[in-house]
Structure 1
Amino acid sequence: MSTVEVMADLPFGFSTGDDPDPDKPGNDDSDAGSPGPSGSSRFGGDFDAAHLGQIFTQLGQMLTGAGNAMATGASSGPVNYELARQLATSSIGFVPPISAATNAAIHDAVHLAETWLDGATALPAGTSRATAWSPTDWVENTLATWKRLCDPMAQQIATVWAAALPAEAKNMAGPLLSMMSQMGGMAFGSQLGQALGQLSREVLTSTDIGLPLGPKGVAALLPHAVESFAAGLERPRSEIVTFLAAREAAHHRLFSHVPWLASQLLGAVEAYAKGMKIDMAGIEELARDFNPASLTDPAAVEELLTQGVFEPKATPEQTQALERLETLLALIEGWVQTVVTAALGDRIPGTAALAETLRRRRATGGPAEQTFATLVGLELRPRKLREAAVLWERLTQAVG
């Protein structure tokens, strides 16, 4: 089978094994087993020792109920989201409760931002409530959307192996495939949970990664992350909060009144998943020389898994889906930047500086970049974000 390898990172910790940019920082072979930006190993997810107890508990429950599940055909889905939620929330640790004064300040900032945005865009307000979220609140309020984003990818990874097997092999391996599916759900859930736990401490708003992750109409800022972001910026906290509130409100206007955007974003992720292929010819070649006795040797097993033969290969169809997703995200970010600058530029002196700080944050691998590197292997390019912002500025000047 012919495959085209085009991405440096594949979803859920997979790697093509052939990095097109070997000189890129972080690609030193000596660090091949070190965790990536999402806290997972490039070999499919380094389990955090602090989470082993929960993982083993889930494993015991899985083994206990495996017989019933196989007998009834029940399935918990391609990702164990309960495990993901538990790992994410447990990794957050203690966070001081959000005060009533902080909640009120965020509510007032969103209200003020909405008033200013009314003069910068014809799209009406898209928020019905403004609130402050803790990292745990972010996990709980966004998990439903993560299911929609992750299910297509995880389902394709889970089924592409079985679909490529001959019919006789499927019949012989039926019970084993069911067990492997459950174990795969645990593996995906573990990696997703660790990634969400890290993201929850870094995202500034509910739309920080460019997607409508939270409930419709709820504008949310995460004050603990905002405080970390504000450190060293030498701008008044009120300016920073109002700037972020304006970005959050602008995103909600766009997603509320251009409803096809969300479906297009999710459709691009699904199209990427459907384009995934497994190189069965490579697996067959490996099987001819495979010695089953080597499975007792951990070093031999590790070598087998790191050869890249079992990893999904990126295809031209996936490249097109990623290009569409990247373009949509860039257009969204460009519109938000243009509208917020128009609304706040004459009112908050630090608007341009804050916008530049966010651009640099993205360029150095912010939450959005980490999320899409983990989810779909996409590296968002700052060049496209700048081009999109220029496009919206020119359109605004031309037609208002």
Structure 2
Amino acid sequence: MSDTPFGFGLPPEEPENGDDGKKKGGGQGGQQPANPFGFGGPAGGGDNPFAAMFGSMNPGDLGAAFQQLGQMLSYEGGPVNWDMAKDIARQTVAQGTADGSKDASVSAGERAAVEEAVRLADLWLDGVTSLPSGSGTAVAWSRAEWVEATLPVWKDLVDPVAERVGAAMGGVLPEEMQAMAGPLLGMMRSMGGAMFGTQIGQAVGVLAGEVVGSTDIGLPLGPAGKAALLPVNIEAFGSGLGVPQDEVRLYLALREAAHQRLFAHVPWLRSHLFGAVEGYARGIKVDTSKLEDVVGQLDPSHPEQLQEALQQGMFQPEDTPEQKAALARLETALALVEGWVDAVVHAAAAPHLPSADALRETLRRRRASGGPAEQTFATLIGLELRPRRLRDAARLWASLTDARGLEGRDGLWEHPDMLPTAADLDDPDGFVHREHLDFSELDKMLGEAARGAEQKKPEDGDKGDKGEGGR
């Protein structure tokens, strides 16, 4: 990932063109770091994108650079320039991963293999969960297609944080200076949207080279009811494991299909997870003192100063009960989702796949450590989308299966208040064997309360004693 995303330049060529952009920017090839705005000239430019720019440009490049600069500074949209984010993500994908792996269109054979793997995965899952299939269709995506399909969800995740940063950027100047610095403030907002767009685009592009499906981070990133796998990344993931590729694909299809069942048949889950992310974002405190220092020293020839502050992380969680509760709610929810998937997939895979145990452990470690793109998102939004207690949650779900059966275990997803808490992960046996509510009686009471409220509505305009008598 580039350190100078604002060293302006031409985008790299798509890999299918065959020349990898070698004739652009003074002979740079596809091996340069992902720098969508970098002219990519000799390294003599150092950390100053303008030094690199004027040291290696030809007149054609200069015109393109100022056109891109004009587009960046004329942006008047939301807190993130998402058009820029999409372009940069696709350019990052086109450049390939650090190990040289390139994106490729999905072949008919790969598409058929994914469809068959998801079909078989759903068949195996039918025997280990009471939730029906949630995969209306099975699709095989290239990395570029994954970017296109998931950007709307990234927008939902990132915009709340970016709005706070944008507001802080506009508020660091005293009121008497704001009137004088109107154009500068507008430029700063445009730069802020561009900087977030650059960072998010690069992170999404790198993540596209790591993920194997649409639910790797525990959130439903793709369209509802669409189980998606990335054949090029599955092949890269399986290389070196000593496991047949068909087994790897099947195991990953099981995980994708299990996630799809959960999100399709637990209607409140998606809003619960995204609400927890938004709740956490609302409590993020922007380090305005650091921002004031940067703005006070802002040199038009060094826009990367503000970029560096963003990369270093200007967010620190407020030490409030509300903030702690939001973080605990999100981490527990992610752990419960990933733990349920882990337990259910293992139960489905163990009788059929000889390498089920090895694949399970590999994926647990991969999920726990995260990759460079996940770390970038942690810096950008101050939050790690990682289930810290995956193993504890998986053990709890397995114990619930033994004690209450499939119906009793999966019935806990009927309402968020029925799910285990963080404290229950500390004492899984206590939760498993605790007397639990008769949910049918609870539904009955809720229904009666709702009917009573409906009956009282016509009396709202009458005397209050009628309302009292109806209690």
Q: Normalising by the residue count of structure 1, what TM-score does the alignment of the two structures yield?
A: 0.76
RMSD of aligned alpha carbons:
3.4
Contact map agreement 2:134 2:225 (CA 8 A) in 1: yes
Q: Which residue number corresponds to residue 76 of structure 1?
A: 77
The 1:56/1:350 distance shift into structure 2, 3 A limit, reads farther
> What is the aligned partner in structure 1 of residue 230 from structure 2?
222
Deviation, structure 1 residue 233: 1.2
Of 297, 311, 316, 2:314 maps to 311
Q: 1:139 and 1:147 mapped to 2: Cα distance? A: 12
Question: C-alpha deviations, 1:255-292, integer Å up to 9, x for none?
Answer: 111122211221122222221334557878x69xx7x7
Q: How does 1:169-318 map to 2 (within 5 A)?
A: 169-278=177-286, 311-316=314-319, 317-318=322-323
Rg comparison, structure with higher value: 2
Which runs of 5 or more structure 1 residues have no equivalent in the other structure? 1-38, 67-74
Partner of 2:347: 342
Partner of 1:378: 383
Structure 2 residue identity aligned to 1:335: W
Per-residue CA distance 1:113-156 (angstroms, 9 max, x = gap): 10111111111111111011000000011111111111111111
Shift of 1:163: 4.6
Q: Does 1:111 align with 2:128?
A: no
Match of 1:143 in 2: 151
- Measured after TM superposition, the shift of residue 238 of structure 1 is 1.1
TM-aligned CA distance change 1:124 to 1:131, over 3 Å: same
Paired AA for residue 91 in structure 2 = S
Give the conservation status (yes or no) of the 8 Å contact 1:363–1:381: yes
Amino acid in the other structure paired with 1:355:
R
Offset of 1:251 from its aligned partner? 0.3
Q: Percent identity?
A: 51
Q: CA separation in 1, counterparts of 2:180 and 2:242? A: 66
Aligned to 2:368: 363
> Which ranges of structure 2 fall in alignment gaps of 5 or more residues?
9-33, 40-63, 95-101, 406-471
- The Cα shift of 1:231 comes to 0.6
CA distance in 2, matches of 1:188, 1:375: 8
Contact 1:272 1:376 in 2 (8 A): no
Structure 2 match to 1:61: 71
Q: Distance in 2 between matches of 1:115 and 1:137?
A: 27
Q: With structure 2 as the length reference, what TM-score do the two structures score? A: 0.66
TM-superposed deviation, 1:309: 12
Q: CA deviation at 1:217?
A: 0.8
CA contact (8 A) 2:133 2:261 kept: yes
Q: CA deviation at 1:352?
A: 1.4
Alpha carbons 2:212, 2:229 under 8 Å: kept = yes
For the 8 Å contact 2:315–2:382, the answer to whether it is kept is no
Contact 2:161 2:281 in 1 (8 A): yes
> Match of 1:88, SS?
helix
* Residue in 2 that maps onto 1:325: 330
Aligned AA (1:127): S
CA contact (8 A) 2:164 2:286 kept: no
Aligned equivalents of 1:223, 1:307: Cα separation in 2 = 34
Spell out, residue by residue over 1:239-268, the C-alpha distance to the aligned partner (whole angstroms, 9 max, x if none).
Answer: 111110010000001111112221122112
Matches of 1:62 and 1:308, distance apart in 2: 19
In 2, Cα distance between equivalents of 1:146 and 1:217: 18
Q: Deviations over 1:205-253 (max 9, x none)?
A: 1111111001111111001110011011111111111110010000001
Verify: 1:51 aligned to 2:37, yes or no.
Answer: yes
Shift of 1:59: 2.2
1:88–1:193 contact (8 Å) kept in structure 2: yes
CA distance in 1, matches of 2:301, 2:372: 38
In structure 1, C-alpha distance between the alignment counterparts of 2:281 and 2:173, rounded to whole Å: 19
What is the one-letter code of the residue matched to 1:338?
Answer: A
Q: Distance in 2 between matches of 1:384 and 1:344?
A: 22
State the alpha-carbon separation in 1 of the partners of residues 318 and 231 from structure 2.
Answer: 41
Structure 1 residue 109: Cα displacement = 0.6
Contact 2:335-2:388 within 8 A present in 1 as well: no
Count of equivalent residues: 346
In 2, the alpha carbon distance for the partners of 1:55 and 1:153 equals 29
Between 1:171-180 and 1:366-375, the stretch displaced more is 366-375
Give the one of 89, 102, 106 matched to 1:98: 106
- Give the secondary structure class of the aligned counterpart of 2:227: strand
Opposite residue 52 of structure 1, the aligned amino acid is G
Does the aligned pair in 2 maintain the 1:362–1:369 contact within 8 Å?
A: no
- Note if 1:397 corresponds to 2:397: no
